[in-house]
Amino acid sequence: MKSDLFAAIEAGGTKFNCAVGTGPDDIRASVRIATTTPTDTLHDVMEFLQNASKLGRIAGIGVGSFGPIDLNRQSDTYGYITTTPKEGWKYTDLLSSMGELFHAPVGFDTDVNAAALGEYTWGNGEGCDPLIYITVGTGIGGGVLVNGRPLHGSLHPEIGHLFIPAIQSDAPNPDGICPFHGDCLEGLISGPAIAARWGAPAETFPADHECWGEFSTLMALALSNLILTLSPQRIILGGGVMHQAQLFPMIREEVQRMLNGYVQTNEVLQDIDNYIVPPGLGDQAGMLGAMVLAKQAKGR
């Protein structure tokens, strides 16, 4: 008899990471699909899922998507990507075709809430309440778990767009690039923002380049505000830009300097090396979080 499998789809602005399996040590099939048009990309996703369903019954599907997305089950556009600036993807229905095809329950959340869930279940966030997961890549997104469950509310966190105090910048083009907010966090230190402001792709700057000092200060301002708001038990920083490992000690030091002894927690004062950390699941956090969403959907 074929065993129950779960399908995980991390829907990102650059690629869709898809897998079928039961957990990090049991991935039966996986594929990366470029994010082009909704029609083409979703066609390839469905093809992958149909082929993968020959390996076992798909008992649940989980989708963690870039956003903003509609998480309100009472809404006509539940399961849609909504007002994204991404060309061609505004008001895209991600879910209805998948669920119907496999007669399987579908879990749905933001890519970053999913990544937080992945880290909480199998990675560096086990048992942390609240837990924050932030990814810094082509955009900046943040997921939040409270009591182990993704934070929703009237929408979902949009931590990438936090307003932060301006600091003196030596960037050749200091202005932020967010089309909505200019100098918000994403507008200043996402990968494309670093490239636009400092004049070359982020990954081409050496570890001791001044752009990373500025990055650390700006990120530390955002994290300080998140600590003051959510009082998280851990913050995980992932995404392509955070592959620059030198950033972690720089960010930690800046957070301590800014909070200036006001937040008297062991995490901030003594144990910050275990407080602001990279993902335990590396770049698989989002996909594995989508697998947790699939399992939770089955369990409902």
Residues of the shown chain interacting with a second copy in the complex, contacts defined by CB under 8 A? 68, 82-83, 129-130, 142, 144, 146-147, 151-159, 161-166, 180-181, 183, 221, 224-226, 228-233, 258-268
Give min distance, CB of 78 to a second copy, in A: 14
Burial of residue 89, with CB atoms counted within 10 A of its CB: 0-12 exposed, 13-18 middle, 19 or more buried:
buried
Task: Give the C-alpha separation, 58 to 137, whole Å.
Answer: 31
Nearer to a second copy, 19 or 145 (CB): 145
Give min distance, CB of 141 to a second copy, in A: 11
Give min distance, CB of 212 to a second copy, in A: 20
Sheet holding 234-238, edge to edge: 149-150, 140-146, 131-136, 234-238, 276-277
Give min distance, CB of 137 to a second copy, in A: 18
Place of tokens 């990675």: 123
Nearer to a second copy, 250 or 294 (CB): 250
Nearer to a second copy, 28 or 181 (CB): 181
- Nearest to residue 28, comparing CAs of 63, 61, 3? 3
- Nearest to residue 235, comparing CAs of 117, 114, 130? 130
Nearer to a second copy, 53 or 224 (CB): 224
Nearer to a second copy, 11 or 134 (CB): 134
Nearer to a second copy, 171 or 263 (CB): 263
Give min distance, CB of 182 to a second copy, in A: 9
Joined tokens for residue 66: 């870039």
Give min distance, CB of 269 to a second copy, in A: 11
Nearer to a second copy, 134 or 250 (CB): 134
Nearer to a second copy, 31 or 263 (CB): 263
Give min distance, CB of 231 to a second copy, in A: 3
Give min distance, CB of 74 to a second copy, in A: 12
Tell me the backbone φ, ψ of residue 261, rounded to 5 degrees.
80, 0
